[in-house]
């Protein structure tokens, strides 16, 4: 039981490039989330999903897109990367017992 896994762990992008952050969970949770964490700012919700085929915007969705074709996977797409998207990104899933986070992806946009 791996929980929530994320790839890659680290990535450096140039301005204007695009990439997909991968997230997979094996707990059969319907609810999945993407957060970004910036120093001293806590975690901000980017997008969330309540089940396969259903996604919705969180607090800071601009510049990102998501899809949810299966219960297990919830990829986050960055189009036209900007320096403001330099951050640590966490994927999470939740059941009744709580919300579980992946190990994170550290992204730098230069």
Contacting residues toward another protein, per CB under 8 A:
4, 30-31, 40-45, 48, 50, 58, 90, 92, 94-96, 98-104
How many CB atoms are closer than 10 A to CB 98? 7
Cβ proximity to another protein, 16 vs 103, nearer residue: 103
Please report how close the Cβ of residue 95 comes to another protein at its closest, in angstroms: 7
Question: Given 3-state DSSP classes, what are the helix, strand and coil percentages for the chain, each rounded to the nearest 5?
Answer: 5, 55, 45
Please report how close the Cβ of residue 7 comes to another protein at its closest, in angstroms: 14
Contact 89, 9 (CB under 8 A): no
Contact 76, 88 (CB under 8 A): no
Cβ proximity to another protein, 3 vs 16, nearer residue: 3
Please report how close the Cβ of residue 58 comes to another protein at its closest, in angstroms: 7
């Amino acid at each position: 039981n791996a929980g929530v896994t994320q790839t890659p762990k680290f990535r450096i992008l140039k301005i204007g490039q695009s990439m997909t952050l991968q997230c997979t969970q094996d707990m059969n949770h319907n609810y999945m989330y993407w957060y970004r964490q910036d120093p001293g700012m806590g975690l901000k919700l980017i997008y969330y999903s309540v089940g396969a085929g259903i996604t919705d915007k969180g607090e800071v969705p601009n510049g990102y897109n998501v899809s949810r074709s299966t219960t297990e996977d919830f990829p986050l797409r960055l189009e036209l990367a900007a320096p403001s998207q330099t951050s640590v990104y966490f994927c999470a899933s939740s059941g009744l017992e709580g919300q579980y986070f992946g190990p994170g992806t550290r992204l730098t946009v230069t």
